[in-house]
Structure 1
Amino acid sequence: MSGYRYGSYHDGPDPLAPPYDIREAIDAMGDSMLEGTGPAEALRELLRRGLPGDRRRRGLDDLLRQVRSRRQQLRGSGRLDGTLEEARALLDRAIGQERAALFPDPSDDARLREAELDTLPQDTAQAVRRLSPYQWRSPEARQTFEELKDLLRRDVLDAQFRGMKQAMTNPDPAAMQRVKDMMSALNDMLEKDARGQHTQEDFDAFMREYGEFFPDNPQNLEELVDSLARRAAATERLLASLTPEQREELASLMAQTMEDAGLADEMARLGSALRQRRPDLDWTGSERMNGDDPMSMGDATTALEELADLAELEGALRQDYPGARMDDIDEEAVRRALGRQAVDDLAELRRIEAELERQGYLKRRGGSLDLTPKAVRRLGETALRRVFAQLEASRKGDHDQVDAGQAGELTGASRPWRSGDEQPIDVIRTLSNALRRGGAVAEAPRPRVRLEVDDFEVLETERRTAAAVCLLVDLSYSMALRGTWGSAKQTALALHTLVASKYPQDAVQIIGFSNYARELHPTELAGLDWDMVQGTNLHHALMIAGRHIDKHPEHDPIILVITDGEPTAHLLRDGRSAFDWPPSPETLELTLAEVDKMTRRRATLNIFMLADDERLVSFVEEVARRNGGRVFAPTPERLGEYVVRDYLRARRGGR
């Protein structure tokens, strides 16, 4: 043992870990599907509601509510014209300080200066441009005007580069030159990438040199472009969200600030490159902010950028577009908007979707989502549990015919073994036969018993009768309109599961009928939807059921029909369906002719009516008169109970 070491397994998922328990998710989907929804819709509903049970996780609807709440909160966080308001306030203060210094001076120069101040335009940007070469008499006014220019420089740059405000808190010529160098290097890198010459080493070198300007720490050029483009688009939307007068004033301030800083050309190059690389972003939209507090240009841009991210996240969380997948949701966007807990909830929802496919419950085929036989068995078991929960224990019954045979419960008797027998060996009788024959061997080291073929006996069992079961389910549009389609599908699943699990010797066939009839296989049954067509072609359904019975002449025939309307369609000789409303005499005659054929086959038709229309009642009474079957009128909630109970009764030989 000294040559072995033990430690944690690092080569992927733990191969000995128990499988992820997905049963709660399947059962939750089953609740929707047994009510009539398809697999894709049931999965979407599960992901919207979240995971039930002990491992409760919020669903997409909960995350959507959080996103919408955050958007509403952001819209009420302030006004977009904060930079303009602060710039005007600083400008007014500087002018006021200058006038205070000029007022005591009786010289002509002072009067000329006052006249110049009087003629300043109302537009803040134009006033700042006119005052840029002005020689301030008041030191306080000069300082206030410098504060104004610093504010504009910081806010305009911060609107383009997140976090630039902190970098430009105490600007000096060297700091501004570094900003120019950064923007020049950035534009060169983008142009090099456009020529197909950019490498990751180029990006890494750029970040080593200028990484402090990008606090979000992008890992490659694409991440950097995405961050800058989203911010630039948010700046454009900020301008579009202002009044025309505010927009013109702020745009002029931005242009003048960039020009004064020597960054106008580089900023134009950058803006053009970003637009070309990300034309999919919203560069022309606007956003309404209804808060009271003024926001700086950088903060307003950040708010609009976050609002755009939230709008995009909301679209992904809705999952209401063709081919939507959980993988479409940006985990980093969820983390930024909603926090770590939301990321964990999203990861759990993603795992549900992935595990349903990995563990073989769902499979994607083209653009559709289908259930596998494994999932159908699980849903059938759920449907059967629901049905048996309604049945009274005293009325569940059994359907064994006491007779020596090959399968069933033990009778307590035994008989000699015959070739082909599958019954269990009666060990005591077999050994007793050998001993009576003298098969004991005493001279061996240990006593033994030598067995011969004639010594063997097998335990007798009760032979169970086999049945050919046909369940005919109405798929017509009226089933959906009356809200009975989900109950019919649940009943079909429950019956199929009951036959397959408890009575495997029975041959079961489920037939759906609307304008035409067709056999329904278990894998399509759970995800089946009603047919939006006209016609209740019971004639065709009985023809298919008759062929099933004829294939199993040694089986007892059981025919169960679920419908909410009288026959309104029949099959023509050329295979087309003929529809008439009210039902034509030919439709009724051909359908009743198939009923008569079933009667000659000694097959009893029991009909479960889900409506009490006069025409339907009249038709089923005629079927009962001709065939001797029974008519039931259950509520949709008790349909499964009625059908399963009737099947069990028929299997016991009842009428």
Structure 2
Amino acid sequence: MAGDRHRSSYRRYAGGDPLAPPVDLSEALAHIGEDVMAGYSPERAMQEFLRRGGQDQRGLDELAREVARKRQELLQRHSLDGTMNEVRQLLDQAVLEERKQLARDAMMDDSDRAFRELQLENLPSSTAAAVSELNDYDWQSPEARADFEKIKDLLGREMLDQRFKGMKQALEGATEEDRAAVNEMLGDLNELLEKRRQGVDAEQDFADFMDKHGDFFPENPQNLDELMDALAQRAAAAQRMLNSMTPEQRQELMELSAQAFGSPELMEGLNRLDSNLQALRPGEDWSGSEQFGGEEGLGLGDGTGAFQDLAELDALSEQLSQSYGGARMDDVDLDMLARQLGEQAAVDAKTLAELEKALRESGYLKRTSDGTLRLSPKAMRQLGKALLRDVATRMSNRQGQREHRNAGAAGDRTGASREWAFGDTEPWDIPRTVLNAVQRTAGDGGELRLTVQDIEVIETEARTQAAVALLVDTSYSMILDGRWVPMKRTALALHQLISSRFRGDALELIGFGRHAEVMEIEQLTALDRMPAKGTNLHHALLLANRHFRKHPNAQPVLLIVTDGEPTSHLEPDGQLYFSYPPHPLTIANSVRELDNSGRLGAQVTFFRLGDDPGLARFIDQMAKRVDGKVVAPELDDLGAAVVGSYLGSRGPGRSTGYEDPWGGWYGGSRGFWVG
């Protein structure tokens, strides 16, 4: 037996498709980015994605609902009187056969027959009491005696099945030698556990025990702790089942248990076993109970199994909730999940765990000095690329044509080449592109075909051509009206476009609420929803004009996203002034600073959010002062409108006559290819 415990076994692979590609983080990152921009922390945003799941991926919430549904089905389908009903049926059958025999037996003394019939007629209504009373009855019918003996055999097998899964079937038709072997195993097991309780090293005793009694333990525990864990979990489930019975059911079962195998020895061994396990594993739930309300009766062994299932379902519910401190997807027991919900559920949970691990290890999340998680620059670039693709799709759908490229716009060649990326305007490096295709298809024997991955473009020297200031309203009204996230998405898309494709342009992001502030893209996208009221366009324009003056040889481009009139400005001494409705002095300061932008040559575009007529009149008047434009996009089109304005309102060949967010800019000088 000792050698058998270490033999290898093979079974069907249960971990999903072993040849499946690595998890795709793009969908997860897009959802996490949306939640971060909405004000969630990256940690919470990641947990929310794991809870919701993806388009083709079940999340934790759906798995938890399946767990809850199965738990409810168990309770609603079953009752705990299965063994009691089976005993009653066997008892009724035995009594019936005995009465038949008494009626047929012509040789029996009439007084003896009458006494026996009276005894059978007046049996107690309690099944346990009736079995106890008939224990010494001299059965005249062999069939009745066999049925009554089945009761003792059934009780013994059920009692053992409560503690050792599968015993009910294994001991069906058992001989006296088989029963003696069970009692011997129980005695040796209790001695082994009692040694552990006394602190004695019992590992060699465990090996000897398994060599002798290993056939009783098909789960093949590898050490004493594994054995105790398995036994304690099932014994605790048996105790919870007993606790869940009615007092009458519990009393009957206790009385019947004395009849198990026709000897009290078995119950003495089992009670001793329960006592040892409770002392060695006090952390198990020995006192819980459940309320069953179904009609399908469970035997003692099956009922104990149902309580083990309920315990596993409760554990899975907690694991899937991820609501405790330090929770990780690795906490989810995949084997347990497969047992309860099937292999596909385990595969889904494993994929979520791989997603979580990949997100933590991919560099998309970084831990700051104060211990909190933030989106890394790598994550910001990835999000920006996704948003820029969305912008390009919207622009392409609206215009239905491709932008032409002006020769020389990208700068002088450096002699180097790099892999093509979306939005590149540089010419192809034909030799490198063809070489990449040859190397990729070498040995295939087929014709040469180019793919996007083969393309390399000629690197050009960057030129400072535009100084861009994007002013985004961060006032309280932007939060109330659902414009907070679209504003951040717009800033990130423009930042990605300029930093990756037009690196010679200088972009400054300026958020303005009660006061204005120059922000890095990571700071802006992680900006909390601020309750402070105020729209300080004056301060924002001061910062924008300072940016333009730092780049005197660049074309100033001023892009202003707002949903309200100015209600705050800076006093000469630097103090903030706030007034609602807007004070004339606030309006005057804002107008004066916008005029300064116009004198610097800034090409100005206002992006008006909302339908407030007063705001529309104010912005129209402001735009006319500097020959600027006004765009009133839908929120979903804000990013495309801002990017389009940037592309079309800078450099030579600038379009004029801009009447809507989709006209006049798409044929501008700055190439933005949608292919």
In which range does the TM-score fall when normalised by the shorter chain?
Answer: 0.7 to 0.9
Q: Please name the residue that 1:80 is paired with.
A: 80
CA displacement at 1:380 relative to structure 2:
1.0
Residue 510 of structure 2 is matched in structure 1 by 511
The within-5 A match list for 1:314-325 is: 314-319=317-322, 323-325=326-328
CA contact (8 A) 1:509 1:519 kept: yes
Q: CA deviation at 1:185?
A: 3.8
CA distance in 2 between partners of 1:477 and 1:322 (Å)? 33
Q: CA deviation at 1:154?
A: 0.9
CA 1:33–1:302 in structure 2 vs 1: closer, same or farther (change >3 Å)?
Answer: same
Aligned to 2:90: 90
SS in 1 for 2:349: helix
Q: Do 1:258 and 1:264's aligned partners in 2 also have CA atoms closer than 8 Å?
A: no
Alignment partner, residue 638 of structure 1? 637
SS in 1 for 2:215: helix
1:583-640 residue CA offsets vs partner (Å, 9 max, x unmatched) = 5667656655654564565545532122122443354345435555432210112111
Closer, same or farther: CA 302–280 of 1 in aligned 2, 3 Å: closer
Q: Which residue of structure 2 lines up, in the alignment, with residue 245 of structure 1?
A: 248
**1:371 counterpart residue number:** 375
Q: Select 1:163's aligned residue among 157, 162, 166.
A: 166
Q: Secondary structure at the match of 2:211?
A: helix
Give 1:163 deviation, angstroms: 1.2
Three-state SS of the structure 1 residue aligned to 2:304 is helix
- The answer to whether the 8 A contact 2:155-2:259 is kept is no
Q: 1:501 and 1:254, CA in 2 relative to 1: closer, same or farther beyond 3 A?
A: same
SS state at 1:169 partner = coil
Q: Once the 2 structures are TM-superposed, how far is the Cα of residue 232 of structure 1 from its aligned partner?
A: 2.8
- Structure 1 distance, partners of 2:513, 2:275, is 61
Q: What's the offset of the Cα at 1:500?
A: 0.6
Structure 1 CA distance, aligned partners of 2:526 and 2:489? 11
The residue aligned with 1:336 is: 339
Q: 1:517-536 counterparts in 2 under 5 A?
A: 517-524=516-523, 530-531=529-530, 534-536=533-535
How far apart, in 2, do the equivalents of 1:280 and 1:516 lie?
59
Instruction: Tell me which residue corresponds to 2:302.
Output: 299
Paired with 1:25 and 1:463, the residues of 2 have a C-alpha distance of: 32
TM-score, with structure 1 as normaliser: 0.75
Say which of 223, 227, 231 aligns to 2:226: 223
How do 1:44-443 and structure 2 match up within 5 A?
44=47, 47=50, 59-60=59-60, 63-64=63-64, 67=67, 70-71=70-71, 74-75=74-75, 78-102=78-102, 105-106=108-109, 108-194=111-197, 196-198=199-201, 200-254=203-257, 257=260, 260-275=263-278, 277-279=281-283, 281=285, 283-290=287-294, 292-319=295-322, 323-363=326-366, 369-391=373-395, 392=399, 396=403, 408=411
Letter in 2 for 1:30: A
CA gap 1:616/1:246 in 2 versus in 1, 3 angstroms: farther
Deviation at 1:306, TM superposition (A): 1.8
What is the CA distance between 1:34 and its match in structure 2? 4.4
What residue in structure 2 maps to residue 414 of structure 1? none
Q: Deviations over 1:107-126 (max 9, x none)?
A: 55554444444443322223
Moved more, 130-139 or 149-158: 130-139
Give deviations 1:109-164, integer Å, cap 9, x for gaps: 55444444444332222322333344444433332221111111111221222112
Aligned mates of 2:180, 2:515 — CA distance in 1? 80
Q: Judge conservation of contact 1:371–1:524 (CA < 8 Å) in 2.
A: no
CA 1:462/1:225 → structure 2, altered by over 3 Å: closer, same or farther?
closer
CA distance in 2, matches of 1:579, 1:119: 96
1:490 aligns with 2:489: yes
1:397 is displaced (CA, Å) by: 6.6
1:313 match: secondary structure: helix
State the Cα distance separating 1:488 from its structure 2 match.
1.9
> What's the secondary structure of 2:165's corresponding residue?
coil
Does residue 1:563 correspond to 2:567, yes or no? no
* Displacement after TM superposition at 1:215 (Å): 2.6
Which SS does the other structure have where 1:631 is aligned?
A: strand
Cα pair 2:152 2:259 within 8 Å, conserved? no
Change in CA separation of 1:246 and 1:473 when aligned onto 2, cut-off 3 Å: farther
CA distance 1:233–1:590, shift in 2 (3 Å)? farther
Structure-2 separation of matches of 1:249 and 1:586:
91
**Structure 2 CA distance, aligned partners of 1:604 and 1:219?**
77
- State the Cα RMSD in Å: 4.1
What amino acid maps onto 1:471 in structure 2?
Answer: L
Give ranges in structure 2 of 5+ residues lacking alignment: 1-18, 414-459, 657-675
Structure 1 residue 474: deviation in Å? 3.1
CA distance in 2, matches of 1:583, 1:205: 90
Q: How far has the Cα of 1:373 moved from its partner?
A: 1.8
Q: Say if 2:510 and 2:518, in contact at 8 Å, map to a contact too.
A: yes
Code of the aligned partner of 1:355: A
Tell me, yes or no, if the aligned pair for 2:236 and 2:286 is still in contact at 8 Å. yes
Q: 1:94 to 1:20 in 2, by over 3 A?
A: closer
Q: 1:343 to 1:117 in 2, by over 3 A?
A: same
Structure 2 CA distance for partners of 1:627 and 1:332, relative to 1, 3 Å: same
Report the Cα distance in structure 2 between the residues aligned to 1:112 and 1:571, rounded to whole angstroms. Answer: 112
Measured in 2, the distance between the counterparts of 1:42 and 1:588 equals 40
Partners in 2 of 1:259 and 1:535 — Cα distance? 87
Count of residue correspondences: 579
> Deviation digits for residues 409-460 of structure 1, max 9, x if unmatched?
57xxxxxxxxxxxxxxxxxxxxxxxxxxxxxxxxxxxxxxxxxxxxxxxxxx
- In structure 1, the gaps of 5 or more residues are 1-17, 411-460
Deviations 1:284-319 (A, max 9, x none): 2314353x4433221222233223323432443354
How many angstroms does 1:543 deviate by? Answer: 4.9
Residue 25 and residue 226 in structure 1: after superposition, are their counterparts in 2 closer, same or farther (change >3 A)?
same
Task: Check conservation: 2:603, 2:650, Cα contact below 8 A.
Answer: no
Aligned residues: percent identity?
A: 43
Higher mean displacement: 606-615 or 142-151 = 606-615
Matched, 1:611 2:605: no
Q: What is the one-letter code of the residue matched to 1:566?
A: E
Per the alignment, residue 652 of structure 1 pairs with 651
Change (3 A) 1:515 1:144: farther
Shift of 1:507: 2.2
Residues 475 and 512, structure 2, Cα contact 8 Å, conserved in 1: yes
486-495 vs 37-46, greater mean Cα deviation = 37-46
Q: Secondary structure at the match of 1:132?
A: helix
Judge which range, 358-367 or 640-649, deviates more.
358-367
* 3-state DSSP of counterpart to 1:143: helix
Aligned-partner Cα distance in 1 for 2:239–2:640: 65
- Per-residue CA distance 1:482-523 (angstroms, 9 max, x = gap): 333332222111100111112212222223344555444334
State the distance in 1 between where 2:83 and 2:234 align: 17
